[in-house]
A and B are shown apart, each in its own frame.
Chain A
Amino acid sequence: MQSGCCIRGLWILNNQDFVIFSRKFPVVERRWRVACEKESDDNFKYHLLPYDSELASAFADRKKREGSARGFGIRVSQSVKGSDSWVDDPITRHVISLHINKEEKGENHLLWPLILHIKGPYSILVLPLVEPHHLKSYSRMCNRSDCGSAIGADENLSSLLLDLPSITGAFIVAHTIGEIILGEAVEPEVVAASSPSVGGLLDSLTGSIGISGISARPKPVAAPVAASTASGTAVSGAVMSDAPKMGSRPLDKDVLRSFISSAMPFGTPLDLSYSNISAIKTTGFSSADMPPADRKQPAWKPYLYRGKQRILFTIHDTVHAAMYDRDEIPDCITISGQVNCRAELEGLPDVSFPLTGLDTARVQSLTFHPCAQVPEHGGDKQAITFSPPLGNFVLMHYQALCSVGPPIKGFYQLSMVSENEGAFLFKLSLMEGYKTPITIEFCAVTMPFPRRRVVSFDGTPSIGTVSNTDHSVEWKIITNTRSASGKSIEATFPGTVRFAPWQAQRMPSFGSAIGSVADEDSDLETESSSSMVNVEDQIMEKMSKDLQAVDLEDPFCWQAYNYAKVSFKMIGPSLSGMSIDPKSVSIFPAVKATVEISTQVTSGDYILWNTLGKCPVAATPEA
């Protein structure tokens, strides 16, 4: 087993499958060559890394063979022996192989494991160094004539991946490069208590800052307090969409080259912190930047802060919920959250404080930043000590159950009264059982109808305003903090929504579809609805025939269900129970610094399933 991660080469392709950037690392490649020569036989020998044109054509071939850039992932009827989906595992959408054709030599050889990361219009491929027997083993798996990787088979993908930590390192490299080329390398958000509602304009401004903007920043210490919305606020949950999209600024190759030469000069990643690296590249050092007299400056803190001292913490809960309002299916509410920090402290101090809310019955997982030292988990209160890096960072991540009832509960019913008209009813109760100082800043409910065009809606809610777009109806329940401070709110909204006549759609392509099982017997006849006993079943059946397969990265086929999505933001104590007492934050060596703590609670996937329709479920283990 290798102890580290070395990269043989990396390539970036645009959405026309053209290589627009490539970098090979001769020192690592030489190691691979030596290893190959040791283990070469009739079927296996060393091959030069592909040139850009060879790699591009191999990538295009795979795309054709596997239906999409990512591929089928699991074995389907079109999967051919020797291809990734033959291995029958979802991870082959991320760790791929390419068949390189060296035309002039008439050779065809396998390149694996290539880490595929799709970001914006770009496909990033990173090839870590493995040992020849790993490659041979994968090659056998792709060509095995049995029925796919059996669990516990002698040679299986899981055991192979367990033996390859370099794959993890290569993914980090790919992700960092993805953020750099899209200009998204930003720090987590820390909200200063003096300006609690930072967001909106500031966020959108910083979100659009390009790489040059960030690297032109004088030093990381000058980073804006609310640097981004990158973490914790992803609206559609944890999964980032990897679908390539059009339209982006051109790739800044110089920035990328400069990053690579600092972060992994010889192919071995040393330090992937883009903010530090770009600051060093653009600012450099002056003779005034003196190292501390008594301690060594850590690699992750190349500059020391100078100025007014303060430390900021933001506790950020994101609430995910699947609300069914059915006796047989329990609601499912979880909170994932993080504590972000920004320490503007001179020198290299240690910070410590007791964190409360760690009751093990409620907290499911805790992960800390490597700068933190935490005693063995246990108990509701724990002392956390850390030596903070520069800029904003995520001190810890947690997953917990809700310490109080769900912030929004109730039901959503939608019933199709005719083929093009639905009657709906919302009956919600907000913040039931919640007390001040917790307040709700905004709350809105959206009914998405991605496959139907909304013509009009009728109905007046008991509170708030309603508007619609072509494919959704949005009910803004609370738009103003003052109207809703510290009391529970009942909100109802009965109404009807009318759609344009249903038109069957022909889907151009299927994501990771079962594929050629063509929709031959899809009957598209438009029968008169008057003769139907159950118009609802009829239309649902008709509509579901038209559903395209979703990617393996989606939790289920969202479009197959009717639901309402709740979005909200609350200020006040966290729902997870995490809290920090500003008076108990201590800094060593002692300095006078203000401590500011803010808490916010926002919605993640907070879904009210249509009580009268189908809904996705998962079995809850009876523990």
Chain B
Amino acid sequence: MAGKLLSPTEWESVIDDYNLGGAANLHRWTGGASVVDLCISSLLRKDFPVQLKLNLLTFLEHDSLDDSPLPSSSLSRLIDALRSVIQSPSDPFALKDQFLISTTAIFITSLLDNDELISGSPLRDLVELFLTIINRPNHGLDRHTRGVACECLRQLELAFPCLLSEITPHLWSLCQSERTHVSQWYVLLLSTTILNVVKLKPSGTSISSMSNATIPLIPFSVPQFLIDGVGSDFVWKEKEICYKELRRVVAAGTSGFFDEGAVLMAALHVRAIALPYFLGIYFKFLDSFQGQELEVASRIMLLSKEPQHHLVFRLLGLHWILGFFALIVGEDEAKKRSILDMSLRFYPTIFDPLAIKALKLDLLAYCSSLICNPGDASGLKGVEADKGVYQVTLFKDGLVSVSAFKWLPPWSTETAVAFRAFHKFLIGGSPHSDASSSSVGTLIESDIFYTLQVANEFVCTAPDAILYGLVGRCVASEVSRHVSLEEVLAAMGWGRQ
């Protein structure tokens, strides 16, 4: 083997150098020898500390990102090393688990960049090793390693779809047997495999029944269609596979457990995490949820109000509402109406962080912008007036929460939030992308604009920079191209000497 053996201290320096500046920094250490080979010899040294070996493994993973794909011979050496660590009674589980993970990651990056390797023996050997590990359900000591091996197989299945399709019946039976906490990892592996079978329907597969395996689990062989390179363009085909059986497997094996999001959620007792996933499902089946828009919006709104969540989730919640409204509203007057009915819930509260206040003001500005016709607002909760009055009410009420900008110094955050809201309310009502000159008149004649004029007495106390900032924003915008700076300033009564 070329190159000298590096000492633990030298390895620390190699890894530090690499993290800082990449592979270009490695040459002076390796003298041109293969990094993988150097690592493998160190990994097998009994006198090297385990922590260093763990570092070496992640280093190898990182290196696989910007190095050219490994040749088949290196991959074989890696598997041999992995096998000897796995079989060693003295190596700790932490090292075994990381070795399994890193080898899988390196294989995936190398093999995907070099199709010819798929048919080679390294991939087959690797899968076979994993299958040997997971084929001992309920075994006490190594249960966590079995879980890790399932995840490794799952990643391989994701990278090479239908790689495991022919042994699905075995996976199903293992799933049924395993009862320790890693049984979920088996379920995840099985569901990924089934998903690929159903989605891609590989031709020539030998699965005829989920309950009767026709080929043994080991020795494993890579399916012919993957070797032939047809894996990338599978098509839907009605085939002999028994869908009824598959449905039963999916129902039994994955009840209440359909995706890693579920595990994450269970582990965290944070329902916030589930919301975006739920919204994802919602949008895919928008029609099925017809009529429940408001319930969804209300639930998201609650998220933003619950103080146990970190600020960022509350901010995300408000963004989701805004994004959600934009999706559902369209031209539907009834939906607009129900959004407007919610507007009272968007009022900032006193202890809301300023970031939340800013986004709630955005929501109020959005509501204000929804009112196009003078009659739209009548009959709304808490409103017994026309459009203009309603808009101004939202504007004034919302602004109370940052009203300290009237007397705080101009650099205060309250001032920044208040002026951002002015701007949003002002432009909110105008079509933003296709501005016509008539919208200029609309802008200047709008009630909000009028309110700003009335609010002049405190606005005048703001320094020029802020005013110019606000006006500058408007002028830069598409809609205001038709408005001259003088026009805006004159209308505001902000003519400056």
Q: Which residues of A contact B (CB under 8 A)?
A: 1, 3-5, 19, 22-27, 29-30, 48-49, 51-53, 73-77, 88-91, 93-94, 104, 145-148, 150-154, 156-165, 167-169, 171-172, 175, 231-232, 237-240, 254, 257-258, 261-262, 265-266, 268-273, 276, 280-281, 284-293, 295-302, 320, 322, 332, 336, 338, 364-365, 367-371, 393-394, 397, 399, 510-517, 519, 544-557, 560, 605, 614, 616-623
Which residues does chain B contribute within 8 Å of A367, judged by CB atoms? 271, 302, 306, 308
Which residues does chain B contribute within 8 Å of A77, judged by CB atoms? 465, 469
Q: Which of B126-169 contact A (CB under 8 A)?
A: 138, 140-141, 143-144, 148, 151-152, 155, 159
Which residues does chain A contribute within 8 Å of B407, judged by CB atoms? 544, 614
9 contacts between A and B (CB under 8 A): A27-B104, A27-B108, A90-B355, A150-B428, A157-B319, A265-B97, A287-B141, A394-B269, A557-B414
Q: Is the CB of A273 within 8 A of B267?
A: yes
Question: Closest chain B residue to A268 by CB distance?
Answer: B260
Q: Is the CB of B369 within 8 A of A152?
A: yes
Considering the complex of A and B, which 8 residue pairs feature the smallest CB-CB distances, nearest first?
A162-B323, A165-B276, A238-B307, A90-B355, A158-B322, A147-B477, A147-B473, A621-B344
Question: Closest chain B residue to A513 by CB distance?
Answer: B411
In the docked arrangement, what's the CA distance between A268 and B155, Å?
10
Q: Which of B289-327 contact A (CB under 8 A)?
A: 302, 305-313, 315-316, 319-324, 326-327
Q: Is the CB of A618 within 8 A of B358?
A: no
B120 at the interface (CB under 8 A from A): no
Question: Closest chain B residue to A293 by CB distance?
Answer: B179
Q: Is the CB of B403 within 8 A of A617?
A: yes
Which residues does chain A contribute within 8 Å of B185, judged by CB atoms? 270, 299
Given B143, B144, B324, which contacts A162 in the complex, CB threshold below 8 Å?
A: B324
In the docked arrangement, what's the CA distance between A168 and B276, Å?
8
Q: A91-B316, A239-B311 are in contact. Are A299 and B263 (CB under 8 A)?
A: yes
Q: Is the CB of A554 within 8 A of B353?
A: yes
Question: What's the count of A-B pairs with C-beta under 8 Å?
Answer: 413
Q: Is the CB of A556 within 8 A of B19?
A: no
Which residues does chain B contribute within 8 Å of A258, judged by CB atoms? 54, 94
Q: Is the CB of A555 within 8 A of B352?
A: yes
Q: Is the CB of B415 within 8 A of A514?
A: yes
Measured CB to CB, the closest approach of chain A to B147, in angstroms, equals 9
Measured CB to CB, the closest approach of chain A to B257, in angstroms, equals 9
Q: Which of B87-111 contact A (CB under 8 A)?
A: 93-94, 97-98, 101, 104-106, 108-109
Q: Is the CB of A153 within 8 A of B433?
A: yes
- Majority secondary structure of chain A interface residues (helix, strand, loop or mixed): loop
Q: A297-B179, A560-B404 are in contact. Are A52 and B19 (CB under 8 A)?
A: yes
B480 at the interface (CB under 8 A from A): yes
Q: Is the CB of A150 within 8 A of B427?
A: yes
Which of B359, B413, B415 is most buried by chain A, counting CB atoms within 10 A of its CB?
B413
Q: Is the CB of A26 within 8 A of B266?
A: no
Which residues does chain A contribute within 8 Å of B417, judged by CB atoms? 74, 552
Q: A159-B326, A297-B181 are in contact. Are A553 and B423 (CB under 8 A)?
A: no
Q: Is the CB of B263 within 8 A of A168?
A: no
B392 at the interface (CB under 8 A from A): no
Which residues does chain A contribute within 8 Å of B413, judged by CB atoms? 511-514, 549-552, 554, 557
Q: Is the CB of B280 within 8 A of A336?
A: no
In the docked arrangement, what's the CA distance between A515 and B415, Å?
12
Q: Which of B26-34, B208-216, B394-402 contacts A (4 or more CB under 8 A)?
A: B394-402
Measured CB to CB, the closest approach of chain B to A545, in angstroms, equals 6
Which residues does chain A contribute within 8 Å of B350, judged by CB atoms? 322, 332, 555-556, 616-618
Q: A299-B182, A519-B409 are in contact. Are A397 and B354 (CB under 8 A)?
A: no
Which of B312, B322, B397, B476 is most buried by chain A, counting CB atoms within 10 A of its CB?
B312
In the docked arrangement, what's the CA distance between A322 and B348, Å?
14
Measured CB to CB, the closest approach of chain B to A139, in angstroms, equals 18
Q: Is the CB of B310 within 8 A of A175?
A: yes
Question: Closest chain B residue to A24 by CB distance?
Answer: B62
Q: Is the CB of B105 within 8 A of A27?
A: yes
Measured CB to CB, the closest approach of chain B to A598, in angstroms, equals 20
B410 at the interface (CB under 8 A from A): yes
Q: Which of B345-373 contact A (CB under 8 A)?
A: 345, 347-355, 357-359, 362, 365-366, 369
B119 at the interface (CB under 8 A from A): no
Measured CB to CB, the closest approach of chain B to A387, in angstroms, equals 10
Measured CB to CB, the closest approach of chain B to A294, in angstroms, equals 9
Given B265, B354, B463, which contacts A552 in the complex, CB threshold below 8 Å?
A: B354
Measured CB to CB, the closest approach of chain B to A267, in angstroms, equals 9
Q: Which of B173-202 contact A (CB under 8 A)?
A: 178-185
